[in-house]
Structure 1
Amino acid sequence: MAEMTATDAKNKFGQVLEMAQAEPVAIQKNGRDVAYVVSAEQYHALVERGAAPKVRPAIERLMARSIERRRSLYKALAK
């Protein structure tokens, strides 16, 4: 991953955009990462991955059915 100071990123923004097409660019301020610049393609892949269900739908259905069947037990344990 490429790294660049915030000042350099400001002064060389076009270069940052070009670099981001190949790999994410970490923008640092006072020695800490404060932002990342990624290509549109990488961003959309991240969004898609985040929108995907974390648990398979079949597992979610089984869990919901289990909760419904054992609702009274869960309520008693919660007291």
Structure 2
Amino acid sequence: MYFRRLEDLRVDHDKTQIQIAEYLNLNREVYRRYEKGIREIPVWALLKLAQLYGTSTDYILGLTDNPSPPRA
């Protein structure tokens, strides 16, 4: 499944695919495949990216248009 917001969030935060791959402890090619929807993104990586970008997993997945994380 293709999640356009993965690339948008990365670019908005002035990060490269290499930087995000290193943050996730992955090869850049693996991360690129997540961005392009060639590979499914694992839950652990989705959670780390939501934390990094200060947003919700629902926003990354396109389930909401509100980028603010939910309040506890």
Range of TM-score over shorter length: under 0.3
Q: Relative to total residues, which structure has the larger strand share, 1 or 2?
A: 1
Higher relative contact order (CA 8 A, sep 6+): 2
